[in-house]
Structure 1
Amino acid sequence: MLDDVVVSSNAGRVKWISRKCAELFAYLLFYLGKRIPRSRLVMDIFGGMHQTNAENYLNTTVYQLRKSLEPLGMREVVRSENDGYALELKDPVIDYVEFEKQVEEIQSIDVSNVERALHIERLYTGDLFGDKAYVWAINEMVRYAEVYTSFVKQLAEVLISLRDTSTASKLLLKLNERNPLDESVIQHLMTIREMTGDKKGLTALYTDYVRLLSRELGIRPSEGLIHQYDMLVSRLTNKK
């Protein structure tokens, strides 16, 4: 479910008949094993449509979902139950569940578990449901993205303390690509530029960020960032 809605087993990969049947699967998976009333599915997935049309569309989508799952022998995992539907899967491996579970298990990152933390970071292959932006999942999509961002920042800090600036920089640049306005990421990247003696790169990074803030938000960087930049440039100048 990270970066896309993909279902596979030893028998192959599901080919969705329609986008809505993929969305319905994602919804039912989110509430795995729980009965979801038809009325709620109509409201959350087909909201905005005329009631009768929405109910008919739900019927069609349930049928399409079962047909999509049939080649993998999974047709029966979508259960009809008391005017609702439930998804029953035996021991599924769900990527976003596994990612959050491992993040919680590691608790804090240090030199003893940094390799494991790097492995966990690689589990997050993209945001929940990718570019689908399902309205009913917005809060959870944001939450998982925040869990990932926080985890990577912690990991980068440990890598910087270990002077593994190359790996830290790669991770931070991934965060910067996701959110170019995140000042704390810029702070870490500036620190790395100073550690590696890259005065030109430090100045370019800071200048680009200042321009971005001015262009997009019409604001200046924080006093803290301005002070950090001046201090790092001074250090590099004094080294010479």
Structure 2
Amino acid sequence: MKVIVVDDEKSMHMIMEIMLKNINSITLVGCFLDTWSAYAYLSDHDVDLIFIDIILPKESGIEFAKRLREEGRETKIVFLTSHKEYALPAFDVYALDYILKPVNQERLKQTIGRAAVDIELQKYSAKQAEQEKKLIYSCIGSMELRTSQHEIIKWRSSKGAELFAYLIMQRGKLVSKARIIEDVFDHMPLKKADAYLYTTIYQLRKLLDRYGLPQAIYSGNQYYVLDQKQIDVDAFMFEDQCRMLDFNDATQVNRAIEHEKSYQGKLFGEQVYGWAQYEIERLALLYISFAHKLCEALLSRAEMDKAITILKNLVENYDLEDRSIMLYLEALALKKDEVGLKRQYKKFTEMIREEMDADISNKVTEFYFRLIEKFN
């Protein structure tokens, strides 16, 4: 279980570090003096449990917990405080526990035990919900809807496939009929678009009903919403994993290698939807950033060949930015492949000139010559 401590007294950090070391299965991954530095850490790292003081500079522990809850985070929170009067407000933000200072080792152990049970129950509930999923929607590099038994579901029409994709990307939010018409049926006269939307919604409802989701599309007061609770969407799962994986953890780096393979092309594959352009670009940038971090982790582990495989795909299909090129060159240098390094630099120079009508950046050139100097 990964734990952080947020307290403005460094002595409390030391006390908690000593006490937590005596409890099995606990890893203290960070101690912070204020909520802003803790929040920055949580933006890039997955944590199971937060021990936090209530009286803190700038933002109280309760205000911080409320902020996390408003963002939908379900991280377990335990308040550490010298003040009894904050107990009720603490539980208003769904705190797991409220421990008065000075912290007692046995009391701390009991709280950790409760947290462990709660986390296991959450995992079990998530697993049960996963088993109840009825449909799987693959939209990275394709647009395929299938059952949990892997039966491919055929679309009634291309517009039906597009409208389903559009509603999926709303992530369970209401969307007005007027906006759907503007985004999906904008090339049609209004009256025809209205009728076409009604027909397409009817066909989608029938299709989903046939596969056990009779009320998945709800309409009312000129709005539509697609209930996605029983539909797995690969793009959303890919995004969640990109944000959760910790590249400092060897086991998670191995998982990340497998996760990277799931990005099989841009969102919706070869389909070009104007309304989806922002999401297409956002997911591609997320993948590129994820691939960079993964390759850096692989190079730090001297796994150059694995990094080169990923980088080769990256520069050929998605990205010719400096960071990708420099990682590729660094991987070759770490392999002590001087011939390959020179050949690849020349190839990048030609690719950029041909595709962008520009010269390779000075930053890359300087980096390349620093790598070459190491061979002399």
TM over 0.5: yes
Between the aligned partners of 1:180 and 1:157, the Cα distance in structure 2 is 16
AA matched with 2:219? S
Distance (Å, rounded) in 1 between the aligned partners of 2:237 and 2:361: 37
- Verify: 1:51 aligned to 2:186, yes or no: no
- What is the deviation of 1:39? 1.2
Q: Compared with structure 1, are the counterparts of its residues 123 and 214 closer, same or farther at alpha carbon in structure 2 (3 Å cutoff)?
A: closer
Is contact 2:144-2:153 (8 Å) kept? Answer: yes
2:327 to 188, 202, 210: 188
Q: Residue 111 of structure 1 contacts residue 158 of structure 1 at CA under 8 Å; is this kept in 2?
A: no
- Displacement of 1:95 in angstroms is 1.3
Given that residues 37 and 85 in structure 1 are in contact (C-alpha distance below 8 angstroms), is that contact kept between their aligned partners in structure 2? yes
Deviation of the 1:162 alpha carbon = 0.9
**Structure 1 length-normalised TM:** 0.88
Measure, in 2, the Cα distance between the counterparts of 1:103 and 1:231.
Answer: 32
Render the CA deviation track for 1:57-84: whole Å, top value 9, x for unaligned.
2122223323433442334322232223
Unmatched tracts of structure 2, length 5 or more: 1-138
Higher relative contact order (CA 8 A, sep 6+): 1
Letter aligned with residue 181 of structure 1: L
Q: Deviation at 1:168?
A: 0.6
1:127 aligns with 2:272: no
Look up the match of 2:233: 94
The answer to whether structure 1 residue 165 and structure 2 residue 277 are counterparts is no
Query: Is 1:10 paired with 2:133?
Result: no
Structure with the higher fraction of residues in helix conformation: 1
Give distance in 1, aligned partners of 2:174 and 2:156.
Answer: 23
The alpha carbon displacement at 1:44 in A equals 0.6
* 1:172 to partner: Cα distance: 0.8
Q: 1:27, 1:65 → 2: CA distance?
A: 12
Amino acid aligned to 1:4: S
How high is the TM-score relative to the length of structure 2? Answer: 0.58
Give the RMSD, CA atoms, in angstroms: 2.0
2:111 matched residue in structure 1: none
Q: In 2, Cα distance between the equivalents of 1:216 and 1:125?
A: 23
* Aligned pairs for 1:32-181 within 5 A: 32-106=171-245, 108-112=246-250, 113-181=252-320
- Report if aligned partners of 2:333, 2:371 keep a CA contact under 8 Å in 1: yes
Corresponding residue of 1:22: 161
Distance 1:86 1:14 in 2: 21
The structure carrying a bigger strand percent of its residues is 2
- For residues 227 and 33 of structure 1, the distance between their equivalents in structure 2, rounded to whole angstroms, comes to 49
Identity over the aligned pairs, expressed in percent?
Answer: 32
- 1:213 matched to 2:341? The reply is no
Q: Work out the CA distance in 2 between the residues paired with 1:126 and 1:103.
A: 16
4+ residue segments displaced more than 6 Å: none
When residues 209 and 71 of structure 1 are mapped into structure 2, their CA distance, relative to the original with a 3 A threshold, is same
Name structure 1 gaps, 5 residues minimum: none
Change (3 A) 1:76 1:202: same
Deviation digits for residues 187-208 of structure 1 (CA, Å, limit 9, x no counterpart): 1111122222322221221112
Q: Which amino acid aligns with 1:5?
A: M
Cα distance, 1:137 vs. partner? 1.5
Select the residue among 208, 211, 231 that pairs with 2:370.
231
Query: Does the aligned pair in 1 maintain the 2:288–2:319 contact within 8 Å?
Result: no
Secondary structure in 2 matching 1:214: helix
Separation in structure 1 between the aligned mates of residue 287 and residue 216 of structure 2, nearest angstrom: 30
Paired with 2:176 and 2:319, the residues of 1 have a C-alpha distance of 41
Range that drifts further, 177-186 or 18-27: 177-186
Work out the CA distance in 2 between the residues paired with 1:98 and 1:216: 33
